[in-house]
A and B are shown apart, each in its own frame.
Chain A
Amino acid sequence: MKELKYENIVNAVSALVVACVRVTPSAKEAMERARECESCPAAKFALDTLLKNAELAKKSGLPVCQDTGMACVFVRLGQDVHITGGLLTDAIDEGIRRGYKERGCRASVLDPITRVNTGDNTPAVVHIELAQGDELELTLLPKGFGSENMSKLYMLTPSAGLEGVKDAVIDAVRAAGANPCPPIVVGVGIGGTAERAMLTAKEQLLREVGKPSDDETLAALERELLNKINALGIGAQGFGGDNTALAVHIGKHPTHIASLPVAVNIQCNAVRLERTVL
């Protein structure tokens, strides 16, 4: 049994907010590769601008994008951890509150009915998974909503098959067009229930950009869909060209005999991700 104090969790989460000023290295490398092979001048201009911006943000500590997101926090909680001094989710919110304020990141969270802003970017959206051991792993994905608004859930029937899955992903990316700030990373969740499919899709965004699935069938599907998406010609910022997506990441979960859920959750070019283990 390991004891973790509330205040230590607050400090750790607050430190993760550095994510907002850093494009994660794998995304930057993928954008550099995209720029090298880009044939459309306007798209090349967009990629050049984004790479310059990533460099500037890193050097100056300014937020990469003004949409510093809704704070999505993925927790892996070892069963041998004992948290003292308060509730885990309260500690996460307090860390988000402090981190966003200290860095001047935007308060983008409000009541959906009254539209009154909470003023401190809380509450975070927290997903907790139990794990073996005595460690607490915390991952912050500040998720912008230009891309989040382009999420799609398809409750296909089994007869749709793999072709139906591919069509659904292409449909979601085509409908999103320029809105999610391409070049994008496409997170796909196949199977489960409605909410499991969407969470699986979002969890795929936590991978290093372009790292293939461990499952060979899914890895092949990722390659095929990436080629198909980049053939759509939407391109960086919707300006056309060869690089609509940097990667497609697919996960799956067993589902019901009656269904074939496909969830698509899109990540914009500003991939920001920080992880820590206590």
Chain B
Amino acid sequence: MDAKILNLPCDKEALAGLKAGEYVLLSGTIYTGRDAAHKRIVEAIDRGDVPPIPLEGQGIYYVGPCKKDGKVTSAGPTTSYRMDKYAPTLYRLGLRVTIGKGDRSEDVYAAIRESGGAYLAAIGGAGALYAGAIKSAEVIAYDDLGTEAVHRFTVENFPAVVAIDCEGNSIYRREK
């Protein structure tokens, strides 16, 4: 099947042509964050502090990787709804893409439509395969959180499906 190519970070125009249900191969830089890191990032923003990662045009991958000797050995997506409390704030501050698995809340749909962002689904359970798409990984914040620390990943041909496109169309909310 044909996959579209998406390089991250990206501008809104790069997402305008992507429709829910299409396949994409991601390359470039993405940041990781899950429950504990999101709590800290949004608390930092609420305090008026600078968040530890840039947001404008960026992508966050919801993942807590397995690592051995510093190398990522398994890194599939975690379930996204747990980050729904935090995601709207980040989309409105310029975050362009989130990557995870499973449907999102109405607030996240609204934030995606308003900000011209997108939500991509990676394949949950395919952690070994995703490790192969991650070419480098470094912890850049919250090292004390272990697997939940914020990492910067360089990825190549990371397979995903457009789950919610910039107009709010969704692979999870189909006509039956």
Contact = CB atoms under 8 A, between A and B. Distances in A.
Contact of A179 (B63, B66, B81, B125): B81
Given A57-B128, A108-B147, A239-B171, A67 B102 contact: no
Contacts of B127: 53, 57, 62-67
Contact of A105 (B66, B75, B129): B66
Interface of B: 1, 21, 23, 36, 63-69, 73-76, 78-79, 81, 101-103, 121, 123-129, 131-132, 145-148, 159, 161, 171-172, 174, 176
B102 A178 contact: yes
B129 A238 contact: no
A52 B129 contact: yes
A240 B174 contact: yes
A239 B74 contact: no
A65 B74 contact: yes
Contact of A53 (B65, B125, B146): B125
A53 B129 contact: yes
For the side of the interface on A, what is the size category?
Answer: 35 or more
Contact of B147 (A106, A237, A238): A106
A123 interface: no
Interface stretch (A2-10, A43-51, A189-197, A206-214): A43-51
A269 interface: yes
Nearest to A240: B174
Interface of A: 21, 41-42, 45-46, 49-50, 52-53, 56-57, 60, 62-68, 103-108, 115, 117, 119, 146, 149, 177-179, 181, 233, 237-240, 268-270
Nearest to A176: B102
A96 to B, nearest CB: 15
B125 A63 contact: no
A66 B36 CA distance: 17
Contacts of B159: 49
Contacts of A62: 66, 73-74, 127-128, 131
A268 B69 CA distance: 28
B152 to A, nearest CB: 17
A46 B160 CA distance: 10
Contacts of A67: 64, 76, 78, 127
Contacts of B73: 62-63, 104
Given A104-B67, A237-B121, A66 B75 contact: yes
B175 to A, nearest CB: 10
Contact of A108 (B64, B69, B123, B128): B64
B146 A117 contact: yes
Contacts of B74: 57, 62-66, 68, 106
A206 B56 CA distance: 46
Contacts of A50: 123, 125-126
A20 B131 CA distance: 15
A21 B66 CA distance: 12
A66 B126 CA distance: 8
Nearest to B35: A115
Nearest to B21: A42
The CB with the most chain A CB atoms within 10 A, among B21, B64, B68, B73, is that of B73
Contacts of B172: 177-178, 238
Given A56-B129, A66-B147, A107-B147, 17 more contacts: A49-B159, A53-B125, A53-B126, A57-B128, A60-B128, A62-B128, A63-B73, A66-B64, A106-B64, A115-B36, A117-B148, A146-B101, A177-B103, A179-B103, A233-B174, A233-B176, A269-B125
13 contacts: A53-B123, A62-B127, A63-B66, A63-B74, A63-B128, A67-B127, A146-B101, A146-B102, A149-B79, A178-B101, A181-B101, A233-B176, A238-B172
B79 A146 contact: yes
Nearest to A21: B128
